Structure 1
Amino acid sequence: MGALGRIYRISFLAVIGGALFGFDISSMSAIISTQPYLCQFNERGLDAKGRCLGPSATTQGGITAAMPGGSFVGALVSGWLSDRFGRKRSILIGSLFWILGSILVCASVNIPMLIVGRFVNGFSVGICSAQVPVYLTEIAPPSVRGRLVGLQQWAITWGIFVMYLICYGCAFVEGSGAFRIPWALQMLPAIGLFGGLLREPESPRWLLKKGRETEAQNTLALLHSNGDTTSHFVSTELHQIKTAVSQEQEHADANWSEVFAPTMINRTLIGIFTQVWSQLTGMNVMMYYITYVFTMAGIDDVLGSSAIGFSLNVVMTVPALLWLDVWGRRPPLLIGSALMCVFLTVNAVLLAVFSRTPQPGEFTSASESMAISGAPAKAVIASTCLFVASYAPTWGPVSWVYPPELFPLRLRSKAVALATSANWAFNFALAYFVPVAFENITWKTYVIFAVFCAVMHLHVFFFFPETANKNLEEVAEIFDGEQDGAIKYIGTPAWKTRNDRHARIIRDFMSSDESDIAAGQAKASEAV
């Protein structure tokens, strides 16, 4: 197997950690409207037709929010785990917690037990979602770094889609098996993640940070030059990492206060807001509660129809995997936020003008507070699908790729953990807020998210620099506020930064023999 093929294999294994989050999204989305689930965790009695009404909107929000609540804690802890035990081992620890949480969820007989199980699952997702991007960022060559880290988002979309199909099939099972079987099956990928990643190498940057230079050199050679420790790329990369590590080791071990130091605060805020804005687009909310939207639009086969949205999420993430390193980071963020703002506004207008208050007993959930039919209902469904198609190749993958690129090695695990914890904090708040919002402010829920998308568009334009195709040790130059034309504590103005992919690929392909530069240039032209 070639060096790049080995990196892809490791990447596909590692991003199973992202798929775990996808499993949770679709298992909850598919199950919350089914009678076995509503009856098992029933709080509100029966309706006139004898159907279980299930948990209240507030309780359902709490059940859903337990997972991101656990993820918030897991993400914060992951920084310490990663620095102490390594990037790979922290992911392995996360997979074990997922198995434990899945056992608790599968065996749940009441709401408290379900919440505890989902919190443990969330703890696992928090660890994996924070440290998988760090691990992949540190093993990937710069010219394909965006593609490899973007696999995290693609794995999430596959997790959503596959688990939704499992839930759809299990919907025909009578009794509690309809939700217990999917919750049991979601353990299998975590078992595969643990077994597969156990044999793979640790991050060479972490190894060097721990003084294990020979292991780091051998790992770089294994990952990038088929074991040739004398290759130009390996020697150059090793030298740059050693330089960065030696500079950082002049200080004591990194602490949380340094993440907020004047010279680092801009990067920290960008990393945090990348994750916060990805939540405030409303995408994960749309995935959790997509069955509500289709029910309100009068769709009879809600589970089957919702699968269209999930499959669209998978397919539309592919362009980002192919071309994210060509596009860069800024253009997808700017285009995605603009398009999502448009489609959220369309949904708000359609529901404000054409929806009506449901008849008593028409829907089982109080969060299904609007009914819309005919052409406007079809337009709502189309707009929802276009929203998903706008998020999938833009904010979805970039929100995972971007934060690890911003920070120096010494602070990377802690800073990315902090940024990811912000993601989960807002995921928790929104998961809890949205059922209540649909119940109380109905279509205005969409207006709130449309405004968020407009604000994030401006934030990205003025403050988010381009980091694509830059060596991790080189990104610091962008944020150097002492350079000519730079802004103190900010660095180079974001709108002036560029993605020079052609130059990057020449450097990646160039060998130690300077006469091979022409060959590197030819390969670069083909790759671009």
Structure 2
Amino acid sequence: MAGFLNVYTISLFVAIGGSLFGFDIASISGVVGTEQYMKFYGNPLGVTQGAITGAMAIGSVIGALSSSFVGDKFSRRKSIQAGTVLWCIGATIQATSNGIPMLIAGRAIAGLCIGLTSALVPIYQSEIAPRKIRGRIITFQCLAITSGSLIQYYIEYACSFINSEAAFRIPWALQIIPAIILLIGLFWFPYSPRWLASVDRWDEVLRVIAFLRTSNKDTNDPRVLAEFREIEEQVRSEYEESSNSYRELFSKKIRKRLFLSMAVQVWSQLSGMNVMMYYTVYVLQSAGIAHARLLVSFQFVIDVIMTIPCLVWTDKWGRRPSLLVGSIFMALWFYIIGGLLVRYGQPNPVTNQPYTWVIVGHRAASGTILACAYLAVGTFALGWAPISWLYPTEVSPVRVRAKSVALATAANWTANFALGFAVPPMLRSISWRMFFIFGSFNIAAFVHVLFALPETKQRTLEEMDEIFEHGELLWKTFVAKGDTDRLDKLAKEIEMGTVDVSRLFESRMQTTTPG
């Protein structure tokens, strides 16, 4: 249990990198409806507001793509630390911006950090986690995102009562604090054992596994030796099979996993939820709901609360059920919102507002739209939010994992930019039709997951080759050849002395924890 507590502690801490993405979401949704923001930046509407919001995603695409070679060359840990420095620079520029161009520049620089951390934090978590709780461990990333959004939104809501530019400058400046904490704290945390294996630092691999899995850092523990041997065999096999990881990434063996990883990330954006989080204030105001900014704060509370069940049970539910159920219900909530807007809405008589369609005098319809917005947030938190970060990190071999996750994350941020940029103009041009578009995207995601996505719960990262090649129906849970729990069987054989592990001790290794 002590080893598991080490994993939990490390994963929770490194998930601060995910909270920075949450801070970004709320840094826009918390200020777009305030008079101070609109006055200082000249009431940005449509394309202008889309450019401000989308600047973060542009930087994130570049950061995600660079994470592949940066993460492989300098380690996951050091690359995350480099990202925190970029975040501090970007947040400082935002907090001191004197106009829209400087604000966009600051958000783009901070986006470089988001791209790096959103790709590398889940990789790091997946590579230190025991297989039986890997889903739970990576869900910490999602919990951190939702918690960061909640904290930042309430900071901005409190500051909105300041009748000056400080209403938005103070919250943007405070974003530096978690980044500094993460930067400093990571110096005391271990490298990923699978990254160490990829650079042939095998002595450290064994010591890190012992540190993560046992209370006394015992490198002779059968569980430690079994995991070490499985990692070693998989890494050596991968190096023998290919001399060029980029070529392997698009090989027949790997490209299906790459495209599935990218698809999961893109569908999570096309679900409409993340971009809705940016602009929910506009949606509620157009629905004729008073005190919209206060009511939006409750969606961040719901987001955090509904992430907890997934955190506890995702390794029992599995990946496929979470995505399938999530898609159907997300579609339902968006169709209801769109239907109510078209049935009870009318053109907005005020021309200089972010939305051109409003509901006036229909309290029941407005209340139902609010309820559906909350239900959409809760549904997303239970399914697509955590699984979209978890699945890409699971399915790729260690040799190409950073590159595969980088491309998947870049696809996520490309879709995020496209939607973040497009939604403000869409609210002004097609209004209620936008919700039917998002509902239809969710139906398409359901069909794709149903026929293309294998289940990966509770399998080791080294078993993914078999999962994608065993040829059984996708809705049947994969069982490893010869045994239902191969790693435990190997540990038992090592304990009984039937497996030779003498070559693991060619050099004497101290059981100290690497920094």
CA gap 1:137/1:271 in 2 versus in 1, 3 angstroms: same
AA aligned opposite 2:326: G
What residue is the counterpart of 2:355 in the other structure? 367
Aligned-pair CA distance for 1:231: 1.0
Distance in 1, matches of 2:214 and 2:64, equals 33
- Number of matched residues? 492
Aligned-pair CA distance for 1:509: 12
Distance in 2, matches of 1:304 and 1:448, equals 27
What residue is the counterpart of 2:190 in the other structure? 201
Match of 1:248 among 235, 238, 242: 238
Matches within 5 A, 1:34-433: 34-42=34-42, 54-226=43-215, 227-250=217-240, 254-360=244-350, 365-367=353-355, 369-372=357-360, 373-433=362-422
Aligned-pair CA distance for 1:252: 5.8
CA gap 1:384/1:242 in 2 versus in 1, 3 angstroms: same
Aligned-partner SS, 2:253: coil
Distance in 1, matches of 2:467 and 2:177, equals 43
AA aligned opposite 2:488: R
Note if contact 2:225-2:491 (Cα within 8 Å) is conserved in structure 1.
Answer: no
TM-score w.r.t. structure 1 length? 0.90
Aligned-pair CA distance for 1:64: 0.3
Distance in 1, matches of 2:290 and 2:486, equals 51
Distance in 1, matches of 2:212 and 2:41, equals 49
Distance in 2, matches of 1:253 and 1:71, equals 29
Distance in 2, matches of 1:11 and 1:287, equals 25
Describe the superposition over 1:27-77 as per-residue Cα deviations: whole angstroms up to 9, x where unpaired: 1001011111111110xxxxxxxxxxx013111001000001110110000
Aligned-partner SS, 1:236: helix
CA RMSD of aligned residues (A): 1.9
Aligned-partner SS, 2:200: coil
AA aligned opposite 2:462: E
AA aligned opposite 1:507: D
CA gap 1:307/1:505 in 2 versus in 1, 3 angstroms: farther
Q: Note the residue ranges of structure 1 that are not aligned, 5 or more in a row.
A: 43-53, 487-491, 516-528
Distance in 2, matches of 1:234 and 1:312, equals 39
Aligned-pair CA distance for 1:367: 2.8
Q: Note the residue ranges of structure 2 that are not aligned, 5 or more in a row.
A: 498-515
Distance in 2, matches of 1:21 and 1:131, equals 13
Aligned-pair CA distance for 1:504: 4.8
Describe the superposition over 1:254-284 as per-residue Cα deviations: whole angstroms up to 9, x where unpaired: 4434322222221111100010000010011
Distance in 1, matches of 2:152 and 2:447, equals 36
Distance in 2, matches of 1:248 and 1:452, equals 37
- Structure 1 vs Structure 2: percent identity of aligned residues? 40
Aligned-pair CA distance for 1:303: 1.9
2:497 maps to 1:507? no
Distance in 2, matches of 1:457 and 1:478, equals 21
Aligned-pair CA distance for 1:371: 2.9
Structure number with the bigger relative contact order (C-alpha 8 A, sep ≥ 6) is 2
AA aligned opposite 1:128: T
2:4 maps to 1:16? no
Distance in 2, matches of 1:61 and 1:138, equals 36
Distance in 1, matches of 2:401 and 2:474, equals 21
Distance in 2, matches of 1:154 and 1:272, equals 22
Distance in 1, matches of 2:489 and 2:145, equals 29
CA gap 1:97/1:35 in 2 versus in 1, 3 angstroms: same
Aligned-pair CA distance for 1:505: 10
Distance in 2, matches of 1:250 and 1:499, equals 26
CA gap 1:504/1:179 in 2 versus in 1, 3 angstroms: farther
Aligned-partner SS, 1:324: helix
AA aligned opposite 2:3: A
Which of 258-267 and 397-406 deviates more? 258-267
Distance in 2, matches of 1:508 and 1:441, equals 59
Distance in 2, matches of 1:34 and 1:474, equals 51
Note if contact 2:327-2:446 (Cα within 8 Å) is conserved in structure 1.
Answer: yes
Note if contact 2:287-2:341 (Cα within 8 Å) is conserved in structure 1.
Answer: no
2:32 maps to 1:32? yes
Note if contact 2:357-2:432 (Cα within 8 Å) is conserved in structure 1.
Answer: no
Distance in 2, matches of 1:315 and 1:264, equals 36
Note if contact 2:242-2:248 (Cα within 8 Å) is conserved in structure 1.
Answer: no
2:483 maps to 1:494? no
Distance in 1, matches of 2:485 and 2:133, equals 10
What residue is the counterpart of 2:511 in the other structure? none
AA aligned opposite 2:197: L
Distance in 1, matches of 2:46 and 2:274, equals 18
Distance in 1, matches of 2:354 and 2:210, equals 58
Describe the superposition over 1:285-307 as per-residue Cα deviations: whole angstroms up to 9, x where unpaired: 11000111121222332221111
TM-score w.r.t. structure 2 length? 0.92
Aligned-pair CA distance for 1:370: 2.5
Note if contact 2:65-2:406 (Cα within 8 Å) is conserved in structure 1.
Answer: yes
CA gap 1:151/1:237 in 2 versus in 1, 3 angstroms: same
CA gap 1:338/1:354 in 2 versus in 1, 3 angstroms: same
Aligned-partner SS, 1:263: helix
AA aligned opposite 2:116: I
